[in-house]
Amino acid sequence: MHADLSFLYGVVALQAGLIDSQQFTQFIDACAAWEERRDGSFLDLLVARAWIKASDRAHLDYLVQRKLEQHAGSARASLATVAHEVEHSVTLLRHDTIRRSLAVPPKAESSALSVTGVPPVFKSKDRYVMDSLHATGGIGQVWLAHDGQMGRNVALKELRPEQADNAVLCARFLREAHITGQLEHPGIVPVYELARRPETGQPFYTMRFVRGRTLSDAATAYHEKRQTGQANSLEFSTLLNAFAVVCKTLAYAHSRGVIHRDLKGENVIVGDFGEVVVLDWGLAKLVGQVDEEIETPVRMDYHPLGHAALTMQGDTLGTPAYMAPEQAAGRLGSIDQRTDVYGLGAMLYQVLTGRSPFGGATVEEVLGKVASEEPIAPQQFWTEVPLTLQAACLRAMAKKPTERFASANDLAREVEQWQEVQRKKAEDALRVSQALYHSLVESIPLWVWRKDLDSRFTFVSKGLSEGVGLRPEDMIGKTDHDFFPSLADKIRRDDIHVIKTGETLRLTEERMADEKVPRFVEVIKIPVRDSNDEIVGTQGVLWDVTAWKRTEEALRESEGLYHSLVETIPIYVWRKDAQGRFTFANGWFCKALRKTREELMSKTDFDLFSAELAEKYRRDDAYVLKTGETLRVTETHPTGHLVQVIKIAIYDARRHIVGTQGIYWDLTSWNSTQEESHVNQEQP
């Protein structure tokens, strides 16, 4: 084994996290010593010095052989791809053979990413102070930490303690840090630093901490509100906007030769201030490169359904409910950017329905459905899912990659085009609505206005502007103080009441017109709300009700005269509704029946008289109600007295008969009075 090959073993061990940078420096001396003696196996030397575990020996040999296969068995060509990894240690090299191994021609700049390199041990123990554990995944965990050096909060990601000694997962973790750090896009969280803990040597990296919620949580919350009738169209539009950003972020990653392979709503953060960030690039694949450590057979045991949304490692990579069929089948060589397009389609499915596209009792069952079953159409869960978006979702999730959208950008355009069509429809509907509104307010004899929160006019009708002798544009931006100074403070108090309470205010006010003649106005004020249901102003309507008020006053005067009359003269008066229930009775009528007025209200003749007499009264009422004619009869009252009865129809404002009014007086008493008068006149 020559120097190039032995040195390649050390570099790969460093890259895989099997040794640290300090051990790598010691390894250089050991490599040179072994090159001089060449006694025994070089791997035996690494194990003997306890730099690698015996259980890691076969794995390290496997990684080196895969590296050699990629470069036609050339150790020097393999080293050329990783030489910059150990530039920090070159000054420590003491042997020409090692220097020659690293003597490779300079590389041309390329858009392809590099996933090699291991960070040095971080020297300061006090820079990062752990605040709280923010999230835990299958292999890693994220802390909210404070960076004392920069004075900011950061997200610090590291391997879970029980996974810290797993060389494969460590290599994957470093790979994730490198890929995330080299993908510079607003939709990808920036990495600040990749380092190792000084006390344990375990790698970690820090990145911007984005406050918000996952796209999965946002979609679930929207559909929960939708089912209770509390959601609005803006929330759905916000979800679609976030999804389009995710698509464009993936399109950028694809342009850099990176496939995410674990797309799901839980790996997207929708920030509190509009940020949309794609996280967790731990399963990312570099196009055209073989991922040795990823293709090592390390499989998860199958878990109950509750774990179907967790990322799986090993031959089957990804999250079962969201992975493409080629992932579910473990065909890693078939994975390309269309695999991510499928994941985006599954994410859109959750946006449209609030649920994942597949479910089952076990992960194995879910994987089986992914491979062989079509997802249930989103409209089966929400009948109002737009057909265009449903079609885009199902196309993105086609079983065959060739039937999916060719790129993430194509899927984003499909969603954005639908949104643009909806926006234009909404604008057209708004124009029609505004035209109808203005035609209405300009055709009715009312004063209509709108104001902002500071009571500045934002709209005035033609009737209002003419009423104050101005043009509408002369009133916009002004307040009531500019036009009604004596009333302005009272009007402002009313506006504030509506703004604070959100209630409708209705009142009738007496005001003084310019000609000093009292007039009455009816005023209604309501809150104006924006698309988020926030109050942004008030709308008012005013009309002159002077004539109505004068009619009302005349009616009250007439009713006063009426009641004073019926309560004074010795006649019996009552009113009934169309069902024969008493609605009024004067004092004489109540006294005759020995009932109070309250006791008579809503009663019928059947509650007061014999059945025979009540039936007779009912027939009389029915005749008046049907014909509208006045009924005059002379009959014997239950007291034995002869009475004169008159019944007339009662009409409402639309000339509909709504009841009857009756009066009667005692003819016997009347005749006796007349006879006594005649006798007195005949006496001398």
For 542-580, the pLDDT digits (tens) are 887 777 777 666 767 777 777 777 777 788 999 999 999
Whether 50 has a pLDDT exceeding 90, the answer reads no
Task: Find the range with the poorest average confidence among 50-54, 365-369, 380-384.
Answer: 50-54
Whether 293 has a pLDDT exceeding 50, the answer reads no
Beta bridge partners of residue 214, listed in sequence order: 269
8-state DSSP, 122: P
Q: Is the Cβ–Cβ distance between 350 and 265 less than 8 Å?
A: yes
The reported pLDDT for the residue numbered 564 is 74
What is the mean predicted confidence (pLDDT) over 416-436? 85
8-state DSSP, 570: S
pTM: 0.56
Q: Work out the pLDDT band at 283, boundaries 50, 70, 90.
A: confident
Strand order in the sheet with 572-577: 582-585, 572-577, 657-666, 642-651, 631-636
What is the mean predicted confidence (pLDDT) over 324-345? 90
Whether 101 has a pLDDT exceeding 80, the answer reads no
**Greater pLDDT, 147 or 76:** 147
**Greater pLDDT, 281 or 671:** 281
Residue with tokens 């029980």: 162
The reported pLDDT for the residue numbered 243 is 96
Rounded to whole angstroms, the Cα distance separating 43 from 9 reads: 8
Q: For residue range 488-542, what is the model confidence (pLDDT) as tens digits?
A: 999 999 999 999 999 999 988 876 655 334 478 889 999 999 877 899 999 999 8
Rounded to whole angstroms, the Cα distance separating 523 from 466 reads: 18
The reported pLDDT for the residue numbered 111 is 54
Q: Is the Cβ–Cβ distance between 509 and 492 less than 8 Å?
A: no
User: Where does residue 477 rank: exposed (0-12), middle (13-18), buried (19+ CB within 10 A)?
Assistant: exposed
Q: Is the Cβ–Cβ distance between 477 and 449 less than 8 Å?
A: no
Helix boundaries (H) for 267-334: 325-328
Strands of 423-532, DSSP E: 447-452, 457-460, 505-512, 518-529
Distances (CA, A) of 275 to 208, 213, 248, 468: 12, 11, 14, 49
Length reported for the chain: 684
Rounded to whole angstroms, the Cα distance separating 418 from 649 reads: 64
Q: Is the Cβ–Cβ distance between 572 and 592 less than 8 Å?
A: yes
Task: Find the angle CA(47)-CA(52)-CA(53) to the nearest 5 degrees.
Answer: 80
Q: For residue range 625-670, what is the model confidence (pLDDT) as tens digits?
A: 999 999 999 888 777 788 889 999 999 878 899 999 999 888 876 5
What is the mean predicted confidence (pLDDT) over 454-477? 90
**Greater pLDDT, 565 or 220:** 220
Q: Is the Cβ–Cβ distance between 169 and 162 less than 8 Å?
A: no
Q: Is the Cβ–Cβ distance between 256 and 112 less than 8 Å?
A: yes
- Largest Cα span, the chain: 173
The reported pLDDT for the residue numbered 13 is 73
Beta bridge partners of residue 604, listed in sequence order: none
Q: Work out the pLDDT band at 232, boundaries 50, 70, 90.
A: confident
Task: Find the range with the poorest average confidence among 91-95, 248-252, 534-538.
Answer: 91-95
**Greater pLDDT, 28 or 657:** 657
Rounded to whole angstroms, the Cα distance separating 122 from 544 reads: 81
The two structure tokens encoding residue 281: 């690039």
The reported pLDDT for the residue numbered 70 is 63
Helix boundaries (H) for 135-205: 167-182
Residue with tokens 């009604």: 484
Task: Find the angle CA(137)-CA(142)-CA(143) to the nearest 5 degrees.
Answer: 145
Q: Work out the pLDDT band at 265, boundaries 50, 70, 90.
A: very high
Q: Work out the pLDDT band at 104, boundaries 50, 70, 90.
A: very low
Whether 161 has a pLDDT exceeding 60, the answer reads yes
- The β-bridge relationship of strands 505-512 and 518-529 is antiparallel
Nearest to 209 by CA among 125, 122, 147, 281: 147
Domains with residue ranges and CATH for the chain:
3-101 (no CATH), 118-209 (3.30.200.20), 216-426 (1.10.510.10), 444-549 (3.30.450.20), 567-673 (3.30.450.20)
Rounded to whole angstroms, the Cα distance separating 591 from 593 reads: 5
The reported pLDDT for the residue numbered 413 is 96
Q: Work out the pLDDT band at 307, boundaries 50, 70, 90.
A: very low
Distances (CA, A) of 252 to 73, 119, 238, 337, 345: 34, 26, 21, 11, 17
What is the mean predicted confidence (pLDDT) over 461-481? 90
Q: What is the CA radius of gyration of the chain?
A: 45
Whether 680 has a pLDDT exceeding 60, the answer reads no
Q: Work out the pLDDT band at 305, boundaries 50, 70, 90.
A: very low
Kindly report the number of other CB atoms within 10 A of residue 524's CB atom: 14
Helix boundaries (H) for 280-386: 325-328, 337-353, 363-372
Torsion of CA 373, 263, 62, 54, to 10 degrees: -110
Whether 294 has a pLDDT exceeding 50, the answer reads no
Rounded to whole angstroms, the Cα distance separating 574 from 581 reads: 10
Rounded to whole angstroms, the Cα distance separating 517 from 485 reads: 19
SS3 562: helix
What is the mean predicted confidence (pLDDT) over 96-111? 45
Beta bridge partners of residue 352, listed in sequence order: none
Q: Is the Cβ–Cβ distance between 335 and 259 less than 8 Å?
A: yes
- Residue 501, amino acid: T
Strand order in the sheet with 535-544: 457-460, 447-452, 535-544, 518-529, 505-512
Q: Work out the pLDDT band at 172, boundaries 50, 70, 90.
A: confident
Q: Is the Cβ–Cβ distance between 33 and 49 less than 8 Å?
A: no
Q: How many helices (H) and strands (E) does the chain have?
A: 22, 20
- The β-bridge relationship of strands 457-460 and 447-452 is antiparallel
- Residue 541, amino acid: V
What is the mean predicted confidence (pLDDT) over 169-193? 90
- Residue 161, amino acid: P
Whether 292 has a pLDDT exceeding 50, the answer reads no
Rounded to whole angstroms, the Cα distance separating 658 from 246 reads: 68
Kindly report the number of other CB atoms within 10 A of residue 19's CB atom: 24
Kindly report the number of other CB atoms within 10 A of residue 45's CB atom: 19
Backbone angles phi, psi at 519, to 5 degrees: -140, 155
Mean pLDDT for the chain overall: 80
The reported pLDDT for the residue numbered 191 is 93
The reported pLDDT for the residue numbered 158 is 93
The reported pLDDT for the residue numbered 81 is 55
Rounded to whole angstroms, the Cα distance separating 269 from 266 reads: 8
CA end-to-end distance (rounded Å), the chain: 167
Residue 214: enclosing H or E segment and its boundaries?
strand 212-214
The two structure tokens encoding residue 514: 């310019």
Q: For residue range 573-610, what is the model confidence (pLDDT) as tens digits?
A: 999 999 999 999 999 899 988 999 999 999 999 999 99
The reported pLDDT for the residue numbered 117 is 52
The reported pLDDT for the residue numbered 467 is 83
